[in-house]
Amino acid sequence: DAGVIQSPRHEVTEMGQEVTLRCKPISGHNSLFWYRQTMMRGLELLIYFNNNVPIDDSGMPEDRFSAKMPNASFSTLKIQPSEPRDSAVYFCASSTADGTSTDTQYFGPGTRLTVL
């Protein structure tokens, strides 16, 4: 199993540019989570999907952030326009959340985003 795959691993962009982060969950997992990690705020859950449907997006900072999951094997997190304060490591995680499982989450390697 390849695990959760994220791309790119590193992204450097200028303020105002659009940034798209990508995630491929583990095959067979039906829940997908986007997290942001910074020194100041720690690990924050941004949004999570179950069966491709967004369940809770209360952690999305503002309208500049959007996430989609068009199918079971792909999700994107988009920031438009990006700002320096968006600089962080963004993690994608997946799990088998079927209501009876215990939801161990498997994390990808992360995307380190730097907005100049």
Partner 1 sequence: AQSVAQPEDQVNVAEGNPLTVKCTYSVSGNPYLFWYVQYPNRGLQFLLKYITGDNLVKGSYGFEAEFNKSQTSFHLKKPSALVSDSALYFCAVRDARSSASKIIFGSGTRLSIRP
Q: Which residues bind partner 1 (CB under 8 A)?
A: 4, 42-43, 45, 48, 50, 55-56, 91, 93, 97-100, 102-110
Closest CB to partner 1 among residues 82, 111: 111
Residue appearing with tokens 């380190």: 112
Spatial distance between the Cα atoms of 83 and 55, rounded to a whole number of angstroms: 26
Q: What are phi and psi of 38, to 5 degrees?
A: -135, 160
- What is the spatial distance between Cα 107 and Cα 19, in angstroms, rounded to a whole number? 21
Please report how close the Cβ of residue 50 comes to partner 1 at its closest, in angstroms.
Answer: 8
CB of 111 to partner 1, least distance (A): 10
Shortest Å distance, C-beta 44 to partner 1: 9
Compute the distance between CA of residue 27 and CA of residue 46 in angstroms, rounded to an integer.
Answer: 22
